[in-house]
Amino acid sequence: MAFVLTSLQFEKGLQRQSALLLSSLRWLAAITPFSIDAVKTALEQDQTEAFQESEFKNFLSEIFNISLDYTQLTEAEIAILNEIRVYIDPPVGIVCCGTEVPTLELVEKGFVPRTNSVTNQYEASLSCDPSVSCDVKSIELTITPVGEAPAPIGSPISLLTLGCVGGRQVFVKNWLDFVGDPSGQSYILQYNFLNEQGESIVVLGDNVTL
């Protein structure tokens, strides 16, 4: 694992804090099997008392908000950041968007398995180029199994915005469940981009092998 910082974190006056946060992120990412409870347990090992829940959450929030190059994250790194984000439940970031109608060339799909999940859970996401219209407020995703692929639970699902993450507007669903292990299986995807009134802007078809 690397966790590459953006140039923002190397600005004068930020480097000491950047180094502390990066070392903390690398330390907790090395905990296996990874979970938020495991991180707290490791922190409190040999201490005379436990950390307050609110202070522990603030600690993770500072780590999560460090500016990373999201294009260089591995699937394992994304899974760890997903767990932290779900736990701290941060407010939606400032939206970075434009005026273009979404196309497959302007979006990037993602399906990342949840760390240590025993119920076949995935984060489903769609990352949009900053030029994609600000009118897009949510995305309805329909997932159709191909052949013997295990069915998703609750399709269609809604992908909701996280705001601007790594310079792109990101929509996610935590967590998408399947009735069986979908790894290596193929699915037909239909993304319906919706405006604030829930009206369709455009529907895009795609496919994925998990």
Q: What are the tens digits of pLDDT across the range 59-112?
A: 999 999 999 998 899 999 999 999 999 999 988 878 899 999 999 999 999 999
CATH, residue 161: 2.60.40
Q: For tokens 């949840």, what's the residue?
A: 114
Instruction: Indicate whether 1 belongs to any domain.
Output: no
Co-location of 108 and 80 in the same domain:
no
- Give the residue ranges of DSSP H helices in the chain: 15-29, 36-44, 53-64, 75-88
Whether 84 is in a domain gets the answer: yes
The last residue of one of the domains, among 88, 114, 143, is 88
pLDDT band for position 1 (cuts 50, 70, 90)? low
pLDDT band, residue 12 (cuts 50/70/90) = confident
What is the SS3 string spanning 69-98?
CHHHCCHHHHHHHHHHHHHHCCCCCCCCCE
Structural domain of 33 = 7-88
172 and 83: one domain? no
Q: Identify whether 95 is part of a domain.
A: no
What's the total number of domains in the chain?
2
pLDDT at 19: 96
Q: pLDDT at position 71, please?
A: 85
In a domain, 15, yes or no: yes
Task: Tell me the mean pLDDT in the region 104-126.
Answer: 93
What pLDDT, in 10s, does the model give residues 196-205?
A: 999 999 999 9
Write the burial class of residue 130 (CB in 10 Å: 0-12 exposed, 13-18 middle, 19+ buried): middle
Backbone phi and psi for residue 130, each to the nearest 5 degrees, phi listed first: -60, -15
